[in-house]
Structure formats: C-alpha cells, structure tokens
Structure 1
Amino acid sequence: MQYMSITLFLYIPHRSATIDQDHVYLLDENNGANNLTITTGHLLDVMMYLFGSFIDISATLRTDSKIVPVIETGKKIIATSPDHLVITGTLENGALFSTHVRNTFNSNFSFEINGSKGDLVLTFQSVSPSKMFQIDPFIILGSQGKGNVLKQLSVPSEYYLAPKNIESIPAYNIAQLYTIIYQDLKDNTHVALSFHTAINIHQLFDEIRLAANTKQTHTLSKKV
C-alpha cells in the first residue's frame, strides 16, 4: 500500500506586531493582500502544481495581533487580516496535506513530503532568507527506506532551462518562465502557467475562507 503526506510550515519574524507605513494596507482584509493571499498563496500554488487539486479542505484563519502600531507615527491600526493560518486537506491523489503559516520571533520554513518509499525535505539555503518562497534558494534533502539519513540532493540538469549565469534568483525564475512560454509558442504546447492557474488559486482562497467561517471540513464541488 502506497501513501503520501505533505507538511508545509512557514514562520515569519513579525511577532513584534509593528508595521511600517508603506505596508499598512496589508492589515485590512478587504484589500485582498495578506498572509492568506500572498504568503500562503505562493505555497499552495507550488504545492498544487506538484501534487494536484484538493478534494476537501478545512482551515483556521486567525488574527492574533489585532492592534498594530505604525512604526513612523505610532498610530495604532486595527488589523482584520489573518496572521495565523492552519490549513489541512486531502488531495485528489489521496495525499494528506497540512500547512501552518504564522508570525513568530524567528523565521523557519520546511516543506516535507513523506511517502511509503522515502522522504523529501525542502529548506532555505540561506541563514537569513527573505522568507519569500518564490525568491529564496533552497536545499533539497532526501532519503529512502527506514532509518536512512536525509542527504542533500542535486537538481538534475534538465530542470535548468535558462542560462545558469543569471545570479539573481527572482530574475532566474522569470527567465525559466519565459523559456517555457517560448517553448509553448514554438511547439504549440501548454506547459506554462496561465490565467487559469491564477483563477484556480483565487477559487481556492474562497473555499478556504468558507471552511474557516463554517469551522467544518468542506468538500469541494469542483477541482481547485
């Protein structure tokens, strides 16, 4: 019998509960930019790209720091955006998924895939990462069988589509995407992400909010 579970957590060092003026808009959930739609959204997007859609989901979205002082002025802002998120669900391939995103004093990140044949772990490469999943470089660790120690794995060369002399991680990621778009246009394929990908992730946000509001596991009526 084969099985898989996926566990993902990201702790962001914002426990001081202050904010600069340029980012005050993040505190108002009605603005649509917060730990769910940005931080967690990037994580869920990658996870679904790798493993597929959800068939059910449950969630807790909580605002722990409800009054946040602005650094420049000292003005206190009432926060309505979630800063503590726990999301669990079942994927269409049967894998169990859980993620935990919250503000803490110290940052930490781990993306674990535990299967019947072995384990994979993705962690930050830098000791002082930006905490942005789509920007930071990573280390991949893996092991097979019971009792084997996790060892660093190298990324196969065929996954490097853009020239390796691009040193900036964000720039390299964009170059990779442009390379895939070019190949799609040349070969009439549909490998690159599209607006449909964006629609799916925003539909998933709605499902997560519904599950959190009802405090029940929500069975998805369609794959997102």
Structure 2
Amino acid sequence: MRAAIAAGKDVYSEWPLTTSTEKAEALARLAHDAGVRHVVGLQRRLAPHNRYLRDLLADGYVGALRSVRMHVSMNYFQARLSQALRWTVPPENFSSVIAIYGGHFLDMIFSAVGWPRTFSALMVNQFNEITIAETGEVLRTTNPDQLVATGTIEGGAVFSVHIEGGKRNNSGVQIDITGDQGDLRITNVSAFGDIGEDYVIEGAHGDDIPLATLPIPPSYNWLPESGLASSVLELANVYAAFARDAAEGTRTAPTMDDAVRMHRLIDLFAESSDNGSRVRVDEAGSQLDRLPD
C-alpha cells in the first residue's frame, strides 16, 4: 500500500487498517501528504439499514436520544478453530473478534447515534487456549473474546455495548434505541450477514404502543437489485460510495481517518479495562483524561 500511495494511486484497505494504532496513524499521514483518496472497509456504516437508521434519528423519530444498547455475538471464535482461522490467534495480528467484528459494529452504531465521550470498558479472555480442529495443536492467546462498555455519547445519551465470540446458540445482532418520543429496534439473526440474513428495523413513535416493522426504502440501496448477501451488499455500497466520491469530489466512504479513530477507541477500551478507569475523549476520539470513579 505504501508503494501505491507513493505512486499517487487511490487506495482501499480492509478493516483493520493495520495491526496497531501507530502504524495506522503513519499510513494515514502518508496518504494525506500524498493527496490520494483512501477508503477503509468499515462498510457497515454505509449499509442501507444504517443509513436509514441515521435518517430516522435525524428526522426525530425517537425524539431526543436517551439510550443505545447493542449486543453482537457469533458462534465462532470459540476454543476450537479451523486451520483457516489460525491467523486470528496471535495477539500481534490484531485479529480477535473484538478487533475485527468489534471494529465493524462499533463504527456502525456510533456513526449513526454519535461517538463516545465518556466510558468504562471490560475486555475479557475466556478462551486462552485455542485448539486447531484439523491438527489438535493447542495455542495460547491473550486475545479478548468479550467486550462490555458503558458510557455516554455526544449529546449525553447513555450507551452500553456487549460484543462476544464463542456463543453457542442464538447469536446475532440486537440493538435498542430509546428516545423521549419513541423507540427503535434493529436486529439480525447473523453477525456476518449471508443470503437472507438481512437487518430488520422496528419502531414505535408515541407512548406504550407495539413496535412495527419499518421497511427499508429501496432508495437506500445504491445498487441494482441483486440478491446479494447482506454483508456483500454492504461492501458493494462502499465501492459505490467511493466511485461517487471520486466522480463528484464528495467524502462519503469511510477513510483511513475513520480507521485511526476506531484503532484509538479499541486501544482506550483496552486501557480502561486494564486500569479499571473511566475515560473521557474528545471529538476526534483521542483521550483527554481519566475521570475519578
């Protein structure tokens, strides 16, 4: 990628951008200095359901935001892994369930509702020995397989996030958003998103009324109807956004700057967990100070 940037080429990277915040910051500086366009595959923020959610919130469907709760789980990243996932075991590869899935889903929800300003976090390793299924080889790891974080976001609403790997049954995505005039619920039976595993948005605007499905308008899909898996459709929408940005000079697709912000946030979650501290951050996601308990 460095060679492409040096040659003045626009660049695309999957998430995680690099294996550390420092490397991500250095790569972002190179791209800025070279004046090239850069895109990072934090694709869930541009998924049709998430853009529709942002508009519902901006249009006042729930009124003033009061709370956001997200639970994401998947039945892989257990104590047994296939040989194909062996690369996720070494902590230095920054490829844990929190690094990969956490990054995608934290970016998705916070780009819709606002970013954390204060929080406390707990990151836990419950599978410290990983067995490779095909060979029986046992590998030790310190990778976290659960993240629990609570705090406040921009505007003062409270948030709670729980991301966990290794859930044996009933995994998926559940998000509840509460305002002073209504509620929203966003669900998916899968944290990955295969064919037919689409997000469902339900809402109620008013008081003590049942949630009703809010179909995502077709206009939120920037591509022709295709029958693609929802995870593939998310990525295709990022490419569509990048093409539009390049043609019109806009900045819609997520960039290395967004990736750096996510790298910093995950670092701060880890620091809060290690130190038992409550953290306050600025609008760019950089730590300002630790708050008293």
The answer, yes or no, to whether TM exceeds 0.5 is yes
After superposition, the CA RMSD in angstroms is: 2.2
Answer yes or no: is 1:181 the counterpart of 2:242: yes
CA offsets 1:23-76 (integer angstroms, 9 cap, x no match): 123222222110221111111111121122221121101111222222112122
Residue of structure 2 equivalent to 1:201: 262
Question: What do residues 109-128 of structure 1 show as CA deviations (whole Å, max 9, x unaligned)?
Answer: 2011111111111111x5xx
> Residues 133, 81 of structure 1: CA spacing in aligned structure 2 closer, same or farther, 3 A cutoff?
farther
SS of the residue 2:233 aligns to? helix
1:161-207 C-alpha deviation (Å, 9 max, x unpaired): 21123534344323322322233233322222211111111111111
Q: Shift in Å at residue 81 of structure 1?
A: 0.4
Q: CA offset at residue 85 of structure 1?
A: 1.3
Separation (CA, whole Å) in 2 of partners of 1:142 and 1:101: 23
Give, in whole Å, the separation in 1 of the partners of 2:258 and 2:194. Answer: 16
Q: How does 1:63-212 map to 2 (within 5 A)?
A: 63-102=125-164, 103-106=166-169, 107-124=171-188, 129=190, 131-132=191-192, 136-212=197-273
Question: What is the SS of the residue equivalent to 2:80?
Answer: coil
Letter of the 1:216 partner, please give it.
Answer: S
Q: Return the offset for 1:143.
A: 1.1
Structure 1 residues 196, 97: closer, same or farther in 2, change over 3 A? same
1:135-160 per-position Cα deviation (integer Å, ceiling 9, x unaligned): 84211111122221111111123312
Unaligned runs of 5+ in 1: none
Q: Is the 8 A contact 1:3 1:116 kept in 2?
A: yes
Corresponding residue SS for 1:209: helix
Aligned residues: 220
Q: Which stretch shifts more, 11-20 or 154-163?
A: 11-20
Q: Percentage identity across aligned positions?
A: 25
| Equivalences for residues 25-44 of structure 1 within 5 A | 25-44=87-106
Distance 1:28 1:40 in 2: 17
Give how far 1:211 is off: 1.0
Q: TM-score, normalised by structure 2?
A: 0.69
Counterpart CA distance in 1 for 2:176 and 2:110 is 14
| Secondary structure of the corresponding residue to residue 111 of structure 1 | strand
Which one has a larger percent helix, Structure 1 or Structure 2? 2
Residue of structure 1 equivalent to 2:280 = 219
Q: Which amino acid aligns with 2:158?
A: L
| TM-score, structure 1 normalization | 0.88
2:194–2:229 contact (8 Å) kept in structure 1: no
The one-letter code of the counterpart of 2:272 is A
Q: Which runs of 5+ in 2 are unaligned?
A: 1-62, 286-293
Secondary structure of the 2:159 match is strand
| 1:195 partner letter | M
